[in-house]
Structure 1
Amino acid sequence: MRVTVLTHLEKKGDTKYDVVVDQVAEALRSEKHTVKVLAVHGDVAALIEGIRAQRPGLVFNLVESFGRHFAGEIGVAGALQLLCVRHTGGGPGEYYLQQDKALTKEILAYHGVPFPNYAVFRHDSYPDTSGRLRMPLIVKPLRMDASIGIETDSLVRSATQMMKRIVAIHEKIKDAALVEEYIEGREFYVGVLGNRKPIALPPIEMDFSGLPAGMPRVLGRRAKWVKSSPEYKGTKSKIAEIPNETKLQLQRVALDAYRALRVRDYGRIDLRLTPAGEVYVIEVNASCYLEKSGEFATAAQAAGIRYGSLVNAIAKLALARFRRPY
């Protein structure tokens, strides 16, 4: 069938171009699909015209942003729905719930899924957290992903440090600030694949042992994107070496979060495991990063699912979901 790989990134040769676009396209072509790439960022007319011109049977949606609005991918999912185009990933409603971390936590609470205590500091609303949140705390933007706005000083140990970081997020990121209790312990990522009967992939652990002494064990912006930084050089992900009981516990919580947030086709749940064995959901990442060497594809490989099969399985899941939407 005709498949359009939809991306917000620039065309090949641009420094912003991501190899995941070609990797996904090649995987789809390996199953004899006719694949075209549509790169659109901030131009609604070009998005609509491009989809209509290519007339895809499926859109493989890799869009993570659109224009200057931080919630642009929500609008893209809505446009695909209005165009009656089948696509991977959730619709605008699901993306809206998953992007707002406070709403995410409220839904998790309803379903009994554990997460850290938190408070939201909006530009015009500062809640009283005295006696309710225990230090240390981590302060991050409410709606941003990809660790945007998470820096070394995001981990705070006093009210003064907390307020400075909140103001920085308000002024520089232009977002509300989410303040939550920092969970000491090990960090894991559990990929989930499927809809009606989702499966949890083997857990990936983030190894912080290479960080300089005293540096917070947090995967912030520099650890993800600044290759020359000690944060980037001092962190690495690996297949978790844990007892089977712990593995099953992490996978169970991940599946509960995945279902509660109505993640579609595939996603990744970020978790923390305390020394006492308690598991907390830190973040729910719908339509997570699909690059071959990334955590999700690595976990799939550990489960015996090669990259080409993984990408095509996601496409098949999306097609099946549109045949049976309820």
Structure 2
Amino acid sequence: MRVGVFWRRFRNVELQKKLTPDKVYDDAYEEAYHHYEALKEAGFDAVLIEWKNDPIKTYETIRKEKIDIIFNASSLKEIEFLELFDIPYVGSGIDLAATDKRMRKDIVAAHGLPTPKYVVAYNSKEIPSVDHLKFPLFVKPIMGRGSAGIDEENIVYDKANLPKVVSKITDKIGQPALIEEFIEGREVTVGIIGYKNPVVLPLLEIGYNNVKTNTYEHKMFDNEIIKCPMEVPKEVEDRIKDIALKIFRVLNARDYARIDMILSKDNVPYFLELNTYAGLTTASEKGERYVHHGYMGYMAKAAGMNRREFIGKILESALERYDFENRKLLLA
């Protein structure tokens, strides 16, 4: 079994580079190296593969290295490439990767699960009516990642300030802006691993240091106040996990995902987003270069898993899903 670990320059900060190119730190290689080391420790034959702008070159490398399955695919382009060439890979499929936050919210809401009301703006001069929404509102890119474009001004208390924030998303980042009701409460994120029998990891609460939301700098430079496991009554914990697992299933997530929620003051967990490319890094090992600590890495530790067990279980989920014992490997 030979596992190819994708890495792509600036994979976590591509959007933020459009806003603050001098304030981004690219740890894409270090992140991939973490997964590579974890897979080797778990007993797999792993090799790092850089994603090239020319996909044919990437394909040639995969064939040359005789790769059986890909770990760490992290963009729609990569998923499309892997699907096109029928290369097995870890993680959610194109049916989920191709959707945006709006579509995911609509699917979740259609199944009777709570999510904030919203509208979508495509430019700052033609913003849909928000009269049916309760202020404050929160504005974010419709396909953002890594808290790109998020700072405290994204919490909008007055309709007059809305065009300025929408313009930041639509004009500078180049995406439609999702404008949703800002639910006051506790930010919780839920990690799930597996597919046929998914397992919910310990809940993680994100607290803030001197900010009102999880801004790009706050998140990417590990300034959050992390509590894992989150301290909530057992019945609230069970409700959060139950809703998160239902979301994982109705969106057809595979192998691993992280579901972001806000627990309102009346203990209703509102769905915000499902992360198909959730950060899986644990604390840097002694002698290794620093890598941003992923939320699911904290959850794995709280569940009693080291990186070998954690990353290994995610890969094993994909191997079971592909039924590798009975599958003729196309790239052998």
Q: CA deviation at 1:4?
A: 0.6
Describe the shift of the 1:296–1:174 C-alpha distance in structure 2 as closer, same or farther (beyond 3 A).
same
Give me the whole-angstrom Cα distance separating, in 2, the residues matched to 1:15 and 1:304. Answer: 29
Residue 304 of structure 1, CA deviation: 2.2
Deviation, structure 1 residue 93: 2.1
1:55 is matched with: 66
Partner of 1:86, secondary structure, is coil
Alignment check: 8 A CA contact 2:8 2:28 kept? no
Pair 1:263 & 2:253 matched: yes
Instruction: Describe the superposition over 1:232-274 as per-residue Cα deviations: whole angstroms up to 9, x where unpaired.
Output: 64x2212112221111111111111111111110011111111
Q: Which residue of 2 aligns with 1:94?
A: 96
Corresponding position: 1:24 with 2:35? yes
TM-score calculated relative to the size of structure 1 = 0.86
Aligned residue pairs: how many? 298
CA distance in 2, matches of 1:103, 1:260: 12
- Give the AA of the match of 1:38: I
Measured on the aligned residues, the alpha-carbon RMSD in Å equals 1.9
Query: Residue 179 of structure 1: SS of its match in structure 2?
Result: strand
* Contact 2:142-2:177 at 8 Å conserved across structures: yes
Question: Quick one: distance in 1 between partners of 2:160 and 2:54?
Answer: 42
Runs of 5+ in structure 2 lacking a partner?
11-24, 284-293, 325-332
**2:17: which partner in 1?**
none
Separation (CA, whole Å) in 1 of partners of 2:144 and 2:207: 23
Alignment of 1:1-326 (within 5 A): 1-9=1-9, 16-60=27-71, 62-64=72-74, 73-97=75-99, 100-123=100-123, 126-130=127-131, 132-208=132-208, 210-211=209-210, 215-216=211-212, 218-225=213-220, 227=221, 233=223, 235-239=224-228, 240-293=230-283, 294-323=294-323
- Tell me if structure 1 keeps the 8 A contact 2:204–2:227: yes
Q: CA deviation at 1:125?
A: 5.4
Deviations 1:13-44 (A, max 9, x none): x9544422122111211233221100124222
Shift of 1:204: 0.5
Given residue 301 of structure 2, which amino acid in structure 1 is its aligned partner?
A: Q
Tell me if structure 2 keeps the 8 A contact 1:78–1:91: no
Tell me the SS of whatever aligns to 2:195.
Answer: coil
CA distance in 1, matches of 2:108, 2:94: 19
- Change beyond 3 A, Cα 1:262–1:201: same
User: How far is the alpha carbon of 1:301 from its aligned partner?
Assistant: 2.0
Task: Encode CA deviations 1:291-317: one digit per residue, 9 max, x unaligned.
Answer: 113221221221222221111111111
Q: Which residue identity lines up with residue 82 of structure 2 in the other structure?
A: L
What is the SS of the residue equivalent to 2:98?
Answer: helix
Q: What amino acid sits opposite 2:136 in the alignment?
A: P
SS, match of residue 196 in structure 1: coil
**1:150 to partner: Cα distance:** 1.1
Q: Against the structure 1 CA distance between its residues 91 and 135, is the aligned structure 2 distance closer, same or farther, given a 3 Å change threshold? A: same
Show CA shifts across 1:50-76 (max 9, x none). Answer: 11211211111x243xxxxxxxx1121
For residues 203-231 of structure 1, the C-alpha deviation after alignment (integer angstroms, 9 at most, x for no partner) is: 001122x31xxx42x11212123x4xxxx
Query: C-alpha distance in 2, partners of 1:188/1:42?
Result: 36
Distance 2:29 2:62 in 1: 21
Asked if 2 retains the 8 angstrom alpha-carbon contact of 1:2 and 1:56, the reply is yes
What one-letter code is carried by the residue in structure 2 that aligns with 1:237? I
1:309 aligned counterpart, secondary structure = helix
Contact 1:268–1:296 under 8 Å retained in 2: yes
TM-score (norm 2): 0.85
Q: Within 1, Cα distance between the matches of 2:26 and 2:173?
A: 23
Which consecutive unaligned segments of at least 5 residues does structure 1 have? Answer: 65-72
* Aligned residue identity for 1:223: H
Identity %: 29
- Conserved? CA contact 2:91–2:253, under 8 Å: yes
Aligned residue type for 2:143: R
- Counterparts of 1:193 and 1:308, CA distance in 2: 14
* Partners of 1:114 and 1:296 in 2: CA distance: 23
Residues 133 and 315 (structure 1 numbering): CA distance in 2 closer, same or farther, change over 3 Å? same
